Amino acid sequence: MGFWQPDPLETLAGQADEVELKVVVPRRDGRSLGIDPDRGPARRVYFLDTPDLDLYRHGVIVRFRDRRRRRDDAVVKLRPVVPGRVPGWLRQTDRFQMEIDALPGHAVCSGALKERLGRNDVSRAVAAGRPLTGLLSARQRKLLAKYSPAGVGLDDLVVYGPIDVRCNNVKLRGLDRGLTAERWRFPDGSDLLELSTRCGVDEAAAVAKRVTAALRAYGVAPAAEQPTKTEMALLA
């Protein structure tokens, strides 16, 4: 499977229908793909957690995206998630999506409950000093109440961010699908360039091989470390 190893991806194959193949690459490799890290649609991303990262350590992620010219969104994600243990009320909503997140050497099944917000809802809340928790839907609050560690409530959460994000669509010779390139620049000055594509679990092995071959043709290889964007945002 090229950059992605079959184990543990094959082990998780029965847990979701879709996989997102991700790879963190050195920023210099982005230039060989024609990516300008300072161009592309701009977004600002915020996370919520306690000062001790109690949510993250219990597999719960709360994220808000200020999408500037498009509708914002709020996401409560469980990672990892065991599909058979997801409560019925959550499985029955079409806004709860499960997929396998696969990085080189690491794969995990995650489930995300996303709610669309209005345009500029996030930036207006931040500018007014209102808590971002006020943008969460009733279902998202219910999800947080169920999976947050004991003693952690909405009033205990603080903001991590903003994180400046630039997104680009990348077309490569010899590859029949586009890649999404996201450059995340964190408040401490560090940054991360991630390439990704989604596909069905049953075609993940073939897609991984094709993506690997196309990237190698451009001289692109995975970075030595493969952190997740959330990990960098909360621990940077």
The answer to whether 10 and 28 have CB atoms below 8 angstroms apart is: no
The answer to whether 103 and 228 have CB atoms below 8 angstroms apart is: yes
Q: Give whole-number Cα distances, 34 to 51, 121, 181, 227, in Å.
A: 39, 33, 11, 23
Give ∠ CA 8-9-11 in degrees, rounded to 5. Answer: 65
Check whether 11 has a pLDDT greater than 80: no
Q: What is the pLDDT of residue 1?
A: 72
Instruction: Indicate the length of the chain as a whole number.
Output: 236
Span between the terminal Cα atoms of the chain, in Å: 30
For 77-135, the pLDDT digits (tens) are: 999 998 888 888 888 888 899 999 999 988 999 999 999 999 999 999 999 999 999 99
Q: What is the pLDDT of residue 5?
A: 83
- Domains in the chain and their CATH numbers? 6-235 (2.40.320.10)
The answer to whether 193 and 40 have CB atoms below 8 angstroms apart is: no
The answer to whether 38 and 166 have CB atoms below 8 angstroms apart is: yes
Q: What is the pLDDT of residue 110?
A: 94
Q: What is the mean pLDDT of the chain?
A: 92
The answer to whether 61 and 74 have CB atoms below 8 angstroms apart is: no
Q: How confident is the model at residue 16 (pLDDT cuts 50, 70, 90)?
A: confident
For 135-169, the pLDDT digits (tens) are: 999 999 999 999 999 999 999 999 999 999 999 99
Q: How confident is the model at residue 8 (pLDDT cuts 50, 70, 90)?
A: low
Residue 13 three-state SS: helix
The answer to whether 144 and 62 have CB atoms below 8 angstroms apart is: yes
Query: Which spans in the chain are helix H?
Result: 6-12, 27-32, 54-57, 88-91, 121-128, 138-147, 204-217, 229-235
Check whether 182 has a pLDDT greater than 80: yes
The answer to whether 100 and 16 have CB atoms below 8 angstroms apart is: yes
